[in-house]
Amino acid sequence: MTTKHLSEEEMQQYSIDASSCGEEIAGHMQSCASCQAGVEAYRQLFIAIHEQPAPVFSFNLPDLVLQQLPKAKPGFSLNNFFILLIIFTVISLIGVPLYLFRKYFSAIFNGALSMTMYLIIITSIVFLIFQSMEMYRKYQKQISLLN
């Protein structure tokens, strides 16, 4: 059995959950009236804290914040226009040279079947489009989180 009294932390832990404390602390609690009184005081304190009502603002915080936010303008979005312009420009910069120099590209891939070459090109373009769309969705999600 311990001859010294329990520390404040040990009494708090015992008052919250006696089963998580060691046998030495439990044995001391059974024989020491001073520590029993301290644990009972902590139990009363914890009960009083739990019974207190939650703090409430004297004003409506969401209304105050919403009043300061800028109003969203419905209609044409310049952001969407620029994204579409970039997509069109990229497709044009890739597609027009491919179309104009298709004879030279076919000579480069002379050993490969033309169908395989077109399949590779179409797959690459579709992959780039999906990657661009995913990048745009990620961008929009980050912007919405900031707003």
Q: In this structure, which amino acid lies at residue 57? A: F
- Cα dihedral angle (112, 113, 117, 118), rounded to 10 degrees? 170
- pLDDT score of 7 more than 60: yes
What is the pLDDT at residue 1? Answer: 46
What is the pLDDT at residue 110? Answer: 67
- pLDDT score of 19 more than 90: no
Per-residue pLDDT band for 75 (boundaries 50, 70, 90) equals low
The DSSP element (H or E) to which 78 belongs, if any, is helix 78-100
- Cα dihedral angle (61, 67, 73, 74), rounded to 10 degrees? 50
Q: Could you identify the residue written with the tokens 């915080």?
A: 61
Looking at residues 38-43, what average pLDDT do you find? 89
- 32: nearest Cα among 12, 59, 2: 2
Q: Which of 8-12, 16-20, 70-74 is least confident? A: 70-74
Share of the chain above pLDDT 90, in %: 17
Q: Exposed, middle or buried by CB within 10 Å (0-12, 13-18, 19+), for 111?
A: exposed
Q: How many angstroms separate the CA atoms of 136 and 130, rounded?
A: 10
- pLDDT score of 35 more than 70: yes
85-110 pLDDT, tens digit each: 999 999 999 989 888 888 887 677 66
122-145 pLDDT, tens digit each: 999 999 999 999 999 999 988 888
